[in-house]
Amino acid sequence: MDDFQQLSKHHRDIVKASTAFIYAILVSIAMNFFWTPGHIYSSGITGLAQLINSLMTKFMPVELSTAALLFILNVPMFIIAWRAIGHRFTVYTFLAVTLSSIMIKVIAPVGLTHDPIICAIFGGAVNGFGTGTALKNGISTGGLDIIGIVLRRRTGRSIGTINMAFNSLIIIAAGFVYGWPYAFYSALGLFVNGRVIDMTYTRQQKMQVMIITNRPKTVIDSVQNRIRRGVTIVHNAEGAYQHDDKTILFTVITRYEMSELKMAMAESDPHAFVSISDTVKILGHFYEPKP
């Protein structure tokens, strides 16, 4: 058993390290293939690093690269993550940010297109997918993602929405530096980035589940063995077709847990009727596993 747990932990470490490397490649592609050629600012700390680099290039005799600034600006975020989220989470966040800084520096900019709309959409989509994939696998890309996780635990707001709220300054800065049309292009990129994060990071997408079954104890045991979720039981329901006794079970899961729910139902009551509804707003405590 100890060997299995050790092997499982080793596998998770490999997956997280690989995810950090994949994210680094994706953010470097977004930066060097789309944002830089299109004069588009990214979201959060990455966008702030771009802004500082632009201002230093225009007004100062010395400058730091966007890659170096990205790492420097994330140092306070590492401290916040270490104290408020978790040590392992911080280690992988550090790895993701470090690899990102290296890859942005190593991969040379390629001007596939200079159309700002195309650069905003595709840059936001590529970066959003990378960020969402990293968060889905329990690591952060640093910057506002860390603040977003902390605030989401306290307010229930989605990470994409929180990021957009923090990025108003980036949009205004794009207007001053590149002209106001580019502020709108950057806003488009930020919107796409936030939506793709929300679509990819399925741990935060909540779904209400209604199960109608005549084997409630078996179903509850199977679901709770696989998923750490509470279940509400409604007794004395009646099927209208055969007028047989039924029990209705209610629970709320995340989209990330959907496969576990399907397996639990297959092994406990494959003939149960299961209705699943998207977009559930939760008032009260909803357990979220720590990264």
C-alpha dist (Å) from residue 15 to 11, 213, 222:
6, 37, 27
pLDDT number for residue 119: 94
Pairing type for strands 232-238 and 206-213 reads unpaired
Highest mean pLDDT among 254-258, 272-276, 281-285: 272-276
The confidence band for 73, taking pLDDT boundaries of 50, 70 and 90, is very high
DSSP 40-109: ---SHHHHHHHHHHHHHHHH-SS---HHHHHHHHHHHHHHHHHHHT-HHHHHHHHHHHHHHHHHHHHSPP
Phi, psi of 247 (to 5 degrees): -125, 135
- Among 27-41, 119-133, 187-201, which is the least confidently predicted range? 187-201
Task: Give domain limits for the chain.
Answer: 2-202, 205-277
Q: Give the pLDDT score at 156.
A: 61
Reported pTM: 0.73
Residue 112 clears pLDDT 70, i.e. is over it = yes
Q: Provide mean pLDDT across the span 172-183.
A: 84
For the chain, what is the mean pLDDT? 84
205-277 is classed CATH 3.30.70.120: yes
Structure tokens at 161: 């929405």
Percent of the chain with pLDDT over 90: 30
Strands, DSSP E only, in 96-215?
206-213
Q: What is the pLDDT of residue 194?
A: 81
Rounded Cα distance between 70 and 61, Å, is: 20
The predicted model gives 101-121 an average pLDDT of 89
List beta partners, residue 253. 207
Does residue 105 surpass a pLDDT of 80?
yes
Cβ 65 vs Cβ 50: under 8 Å: no
Average pLDDT estimate for 173-200: 85
